[in-house]
């Protein structure tokens, strides 16, 4: 990845190069030529000043402002201390090394920030609006609801709207993480932030830019830091005590031991002052303070690439501890759309039964009827259909190809006198009978159910693999239907025939007896109270739904329940990286402090303990941004 240095960074780089060359020349020269100590001091002070004059300046200003726990001030004390104790080359090299580290850090952090910003680069820059028959390019803010915009192939769709002319395929990956493009044509809804791939389309806008999906998402991700994680608060508190504690320890170390070991000996004072300087250098908690929020930010950014919006680091923490996931049934685990599950014919073939049922139902707008029509392969020859009578609450009686058919529930079968039987499967059962020359034959039945989503089963498997112990479904639906879905998906429990208030109390019961955290997954439209009550409310299918984005803590842009396991995995990975960094940074600092106190670790160690650790922690934090391997 290319990264352009800023002006300040370039200047720093130049100073570092000059200082390095000078230092090398001085070190080599002094190797061969003997000079008095004061000459040596002056010689080493030159590269020291070139590399670190800004550090000295800031330290001085901070001292005036009473900021004595500032990193630069401490660095100054440490290096000046090294000059005082006669370690001229060390003082120079340490300052140089520190500045190299600072530059590195600045570049690493700058790069991280850039790539996170890039992750969220879904904001459309302009919109082409048609006004008075002319195409005008304007900022998306200036387009009003109901105006017609034109989007060419390769352009981002700037505002939510409906296609009024043209057709195209649209890449929604920026919002959903799903890379397969979607076909869109006349009267289809399109969503801002998605990419128009193939055709020119005209869109009538249905929202202002501020209200559009893309603005909502950006706002959500950018303000994701609102709810801080516990670790973040811990680090903030820790940092507040760490620096003063280490500085006080340095003072104690520099003064107390020489008082006892040899108050009059310069050698002993020198030795302990050096050790104190090591303490001062590692006293900055920067590695923790940068890498922890950076990890969370990276994790949130990475998850948003997969169509998972997490509203704050705090929820990331909660997600990582989830052991109970409670689902709403309709629209979450199932599609919320009726479809033909099975066809059980009697006397005739499956195809024939489907054909007859489709003909009978082809004039009805009832969802069950439509599912039968959808299940019919091929063309329905409507010219064969004669008189159709709907029998309220029972079904239809239709004349097809000269014969009379009955298509409906058991009551209808009783009415026409067919010898029907119930089905062993659960769901909505549509029976079909034929009346031909006074003889009524039962032709079988069609089983219709709300379909389980394709990836629901896979989702449950991966949640179990991820260590989620309880998978519970709540539904207002009949017990038999709920049981059927629960068994198919291998859920650990279900509660059926619940009213909305019942869902809340069930969740509260589970909250009370669970050890880990509980997540509730719903479609976000009628589940708001439950979403709020759960430790972590997850709303699904949020493309274009404001309600879901507002009430949930985690928002899944598409309808896939398998994203829940992904979200948990991302959260765990992020938490692992956060803890890795905390333990690594504190561990290295602790070791250096101990070795420093014993006189084993010198200034070189100390500078590594400061900037080296920071750079490694930042690089590690960047791993949070990477998407899961699939």
* Catalytic positions: 328
**DSSP letter at 330?**
B
Task: Report, in Å, the least distance between residue 113 CB and other proteins.
Answer: 6
| Four-residue CA torsion sign, 306, 309, 314, 315 | negative
If you ran DSSP here, which 8-state letter would residue 527 be given?
A: -
Q: How far apart are CA 56 and CA 63, in angstroms?
A: 10
Cβ-based nearer residue to other proteins, 71 or 558: 71
- Count how many residues are written for the chain: 630
Beta strand 127-131 with 148-151: parallel, antiparallel or unpaired?
antiparallel
Calpha distance 8→356 (Å, rounded): 78
- Between β-strands 322-328 and 517-522, what pairing exists: parallel, antiparallel or unpaired? parallel
Least CB distance to other proteins at residue 279 (A): 17
127-131 and 428-436 beta bridge pairing: unpaired
Cβ partners under 8 Å of residue 122, min gap 6: 156, 174, 175, 193, 214, 217, 218
Say how far residue 627 (Cα) sits from the centre of its chain.
Answer: 10
- CB contact set of 12 (below 8 Å; sequence gap of 6+): 99, 102, 103, 106
Task: Tell me the closest approach of the beta carbon of residue 57 to other proteins, in angstroms.
Answer: 8
Q: Please, which residue, 284 or 552, has the CB nearer to other proteins?
A: 284
Per the CB < 8 A criterion, the answer to whether 243 and 181 are in contact is no
**C-alpha torsion 402→408→414→420, nearest 10:** 90
C-beta of 285 vs 612, nearer to other proteins: 285
Rounded CA separation 533/507 (Å): 8
How many Cα atoms are found within 13 Å in the side-chain-facing hemisphere of 569? 18
Q: Which is nearer to other proteins, 76 or 112 (CB)?
A: 112
Structure tokens at 329: 């049934």
Q: Least CB distance from residue 176 to other proteins, whole Å?
A: 25
* Minimum separation from the CB atom of position 629 to other proteins (A): 25
Helical pair 88-119 and 7-32, crossing angle rounded to 10 deg = 160
Give CA separation, 551 vs 254, 379, 561, in Å.
57, 44, 18
Provide the CB-side half-sphere exposure for 544 (13 A, CA): 14
Pairing relation of β-strands 182-184 and 168-171?
A: antiparallel
Q: HSE on the CB side for 55, CA within 13 Å?
A: 27
158 versus 285: smaller Cβ distance to other proteins: 285
Name the residues that contact other proteins, by CB under 8 A.
8, 54, 58, 61-62, 65, 67, 70-71, 102, 106, 109, 112-113, 116, 222, 225, 236, 239, 243, 284-286, 289-290, 293-294, 297
294 or 407: CB nearest other proteins: 294
At its nearest, how many Å lie between other proteins and the CB of residue 232? 11
Q: Report the residue number, 289 or 373, with the smaller CB distance to other proteins.
A: 289
Q: Is 217 helix (H, G, I), strand (E, B) or coil?
A: helix
Do strands 195-196 and 168-171 pair parallel, antiparallel, or not at all (unpaired)? antiparallel
The Cα–Cα gap between 43 and 38 comes to 9
Per the CB < 8 A criterion, the answer to whether 300 and 117 are in contact is no
Separation of alpha carbons 434 and 418, rounded Å: 8
Which is closer to other proteins, CB of 8 or CB of 478? 8
Where are the alpha helices (H) located in 543-561, listed in sequence order?
546-551
CB of 289 to other proteins, least distance (A): 4
Between 277 and 286, CB nearer to other proteins: 286
Tell the smallest beta-carbon distance from residue 240 to other proteins (Å). 8
Smallest distance, other proteins to C-beta of residue 274, A:
25
Tell the smallest beta-carbon distance from residue 574 to other proteins (Å): 14
- Measured from the CB atom, the residue of 229 and 568 that comes closer to other proteins is 229
173 SS3 class = helix
- Rounded Cα distance between 286 and 295, Å, is 14
């Amino acid at each position: 990845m290319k990264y352009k240095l800023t002006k300040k960074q370039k200047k720093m780089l130049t100073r570092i190069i000059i200082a390095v060359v000078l230092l090398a020349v001085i070190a080599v020269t002094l190797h061969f030529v003997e000079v008095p100590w004061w000459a040596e001091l002056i010689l080493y002070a030159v590269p020291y000043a070139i590399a670190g004059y800004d550090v000295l300046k800031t330290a001085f200003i901070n001292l005036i402002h009473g900021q004595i726990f500032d990193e630069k001030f401490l660095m100054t004390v440490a290096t000046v201390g090294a000059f005082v104790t006669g370690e001229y080359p060390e003082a120079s090299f340490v300052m140089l090394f520190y500045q190299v580290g600072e530059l590195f850090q600045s570049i690493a952090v700058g790069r991280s920030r850039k790539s996170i910003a890039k992750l969220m680069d879904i904001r459309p820059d302009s919109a082409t609006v048609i006004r008075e028959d002319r195409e005008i390019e304007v900022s998306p803010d200036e387009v009003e609801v109901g105006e017609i915009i034109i989007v060419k192939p390769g352009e981002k769709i700037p505002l939510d709207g409906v296609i009024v002319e043209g057709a195209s395929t649209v890449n929604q990956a920026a919002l959903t993480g799903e890379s397969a493009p979607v076909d869109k044509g006349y009267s289809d809804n399109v969503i801002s932030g998605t990419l128009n791939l193939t055709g020119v389309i005209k869109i009538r806008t249905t929202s202002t830019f501020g209200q559009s999906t893309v603005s909502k998402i950006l706002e959500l991700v950018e303000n994701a830091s609102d709810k801080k994680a516990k670790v973040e608060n811990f680090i903030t508190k820790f940092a507040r005590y760490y620096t003063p504690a280490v500085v006080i320890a340095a003072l104690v170390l520099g003064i107390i031991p020489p008082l006892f070991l040899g108050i009059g000996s310069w050698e002993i004072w020198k030795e302990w002052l050096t050790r104190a300087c090591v303490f001062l250098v590692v006293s900055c908690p920067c590695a923790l303070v940068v890498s922890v929020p950076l990890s969370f930010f990276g994790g949130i950014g990475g998850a948003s690439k997969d169509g998972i919006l997490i509203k704050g680091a705090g929820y990331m923490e909660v997600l990582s501890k989830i052991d109970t996931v409670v689902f709403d049934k309709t629209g979450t685990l199932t599609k919320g759309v009726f479809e033909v599950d099975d066809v059980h014919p009697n006397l005739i073939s499956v195809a024939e039964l489907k054909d007859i049922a489709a003909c009978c139902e082809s004039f009805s707008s009832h969802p069950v009827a439509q599912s039968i029509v959808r299940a019919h392969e091929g063309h329905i020859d409507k010219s064969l259909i004669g008189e159709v009578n709907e029998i309220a609450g029972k079904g239809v009686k239709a004349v097809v190809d000269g014969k009379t058919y009955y298509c409906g529930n058991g009551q209808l079968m009783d009415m026409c006198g067919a010898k029907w039987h119930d089905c062993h499967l659960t769901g909505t059962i549509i029976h079909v009978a034929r009346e031909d020359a006074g003889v009524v034959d039962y032709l079988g039945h069609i089983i219709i159910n709300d379909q389980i989503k394709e990836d629901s089963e896979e989702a449950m498997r991966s949640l179990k693999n991820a260590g989620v112990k309880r998978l519970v479904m709540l539904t207002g639906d009949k017990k038999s239907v709920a049981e059927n879905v629960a068994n198919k998906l291998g859920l650990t429990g279900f509660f059926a025939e619940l009213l909305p208030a019942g869902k809340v109390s069930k969740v509260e019961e589970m909250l009370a007896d669970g050890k880990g955290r509980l997540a509730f997954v719903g479609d976000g439209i009628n589940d708001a109270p439950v979403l709020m009550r759960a430790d972590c409310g997850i709303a699904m299918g949020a493309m274009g739904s404001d309600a879901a984005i507002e009430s949930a803590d985690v928002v899944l842009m598409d309808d896939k329940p398998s994203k829940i396991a992904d979200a948990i995995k991302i959260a765990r990975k992020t938490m692992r990286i956060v803890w890795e960094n905390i333990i690594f940074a504190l561990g290295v600092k602790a070791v250096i402090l101990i070795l420093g106190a014993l006189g084993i670790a010198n200034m070189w160690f100390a500078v590594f303990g400061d900037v080296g650790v920071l750079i490694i922690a930042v690089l590690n934090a960047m791993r949070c941004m990477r998407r899961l391997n699939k």
